[in-house]
Amino acid sequence: MNSSARIRLRLAMTRLLTTLGLSAGLVLLLTLPVAGESVRQPVLAAIIQYRVQEPDRVGVDADRLEAFIREAASRGAKIVVTPETTFYRLGVWEHNGVTQLDLAKQYDALVRRFGALSKALRICLVIGLRKPSGDASLPVYNVAVFFGPDGTVLKEHQKIFLCDDEAGFTKGGSVTKNVQVFATPLGKVGMLICKDMDENFLPQVLVAKGMELFIGISADPGTGTPGRGWQKVYPACALFGACYGIGANQIGANSGSFFNGGSGFVSPNEVLSAAGYNGIANDEQILYQTLPLPCSSSWCMPSFNPAFLSLLLE
């Protein structure tokens, strides 16, 4: 059905429902955009500002993170974003006999687990992982994985610009392959990891490619006032492109580093909400914010169901 036919259908339905004396609220409910259309809708987004518990193992943190994700979804979040290297230390190649490659070898199992979780909860999900690179001298990647609500991986971004703590064992991704905007139920998304955001030309490339939502994940110690999470995404949203941004940063001590949190949500004009900002505590927590995003109505909103109308008319 083309757009003009949809409009005619809605007008006819509105006249019919009004004639039947149904309430204005019900008229609105039954004449919402039909499946497949993309309109700006209020979408609840969540950031898990996570504190790593076991930097030499994945299991404990995977279980804790799943519990946080389930809580966010139960409160209506449609997208949940977690920090860079969500489950493990950022630097230090070997600790207590466990190497970064040992941890990265669990990549496939984690993708299966959290892909299945995003599908079960019908949410978009972003997680920071380590992945084997196949390069003997630089054996791991630092990646951000974006799962769609059907559990598929819509994008894997490999960190391009590495921090000193990981540069000795982490392979950087290519600009051509990784600086891409990709289609999601929430519109066109651009995604970068920590130091990638410090290279201003990368966010500018994403803006030029039509980015509608910017996601930046970090494990950034920062200095001074908390705010590294939102501060890293704000320039891309306010200076380079009129879009909304989600910045997730680790919080707390982890293998000799202390990550400074400050995760938050920004618009092109302001900080909407952030840990350590305007009275919000800067500790391990789930942060929530409603964002107006170009969301597919088939996922964010109910679509017209003729069977439902027939029940009303019985």
CATH number of the domain where residue 211 is located: 3.60.110.10
Task: Looking at the structure, tell me whether residues 13 and 52 fall in a common domain.
Answer: no
Could you tell me which residue, 59 or 63, shows the higher pLDDT? 63
Task: Looking at the structure, tell me whether residues 13 and 59 fall in a common domain.
Answer: no
Could you tell me which residue, 84 or 27, shows the higher pLDDT? 84
Task: Looking at the structure, tell me whether residues 17 and 104 fall in a common domain.
Answer: no
Going from the C-alpha of 154 to that of each of 159, 190, 210, the distances in angstroms are 16, 11, 17
Task: Looking at the structure, tell me whether residues 236 and 272 fall in a common domain.
Answer: yes
Work out the average pLDDT over 212-239. Answer: 73
Going from the C-alpha of 114 to that of each of 65, 107, 119, the distances in angstroms are 10, 11, 8
Q: Is the pLDDT of residue 211 over 50?
A: yes
CB 28 within 8 A of CB 17: no
Q: What would the two tokens of residue 114 be?
A: 């959290």
Task: Looking at the structure, tell me whether residues 119 and 165 fall in a common domain.
Answer: yes
Q: How confident is the model at residue 39 (pLDDT cuts 50, 70, 90)?
A: confident
Work out the average pLDDT over 128-133. Answer: 97
Instruction: Look up tokens 């380590």; give the residue.
Output: 130
Cα dihedral sign, 62-189-272-218? positive
Q: Which domain holds residue 10?
A: 3-35+301-313
Nearest-angstrom CA–CA distance, 6 and 24: 20
Which amino acid, 101?
A: L
Per the structure, how many domains does the chain have? 2
Average pLDDT in the chain: 81
Task: Looking at the structure, tell me whether residues 99 and 242 fall in a common domain.
Answer: yes
Q: How confident is the model at residue 182 (pLDDT cuts 50, 70, 90)?
A: very high
Task: Looking at the structure, tell me whether residues 54 and 80 fall in a common domain.
Answer: yes
Structure confidence by residue, pLDDT tens digits, 230-259:
777 777 766 666 789 999 998 887 766 777
Task: Looking at the structure, tell me whether residues 22 and 70 fall in a common domain.
Answer: no
Task: Looking at the structure, tell me whether residues 246 and 160 fall in a common domain.
Answer: yes
Q: Is the pLDDT of residue 7 over 80?
A: no
The least confident of 17-21, 246-250, 260-264, 271-275 is 17-21
Task: Looking at the structure, tell me whether residues 94 and 28 fall in a common domain.
Answer: no
Q: State the pTM of this model.
A: 0.82
Task: Looking at the structure, tell me whether residues 263 and 137 fall in a common domain.
Answer: yes
Task: Looking at the structure, tell me whether residues 218 and 296 fall in a common domain.
Answer: yes
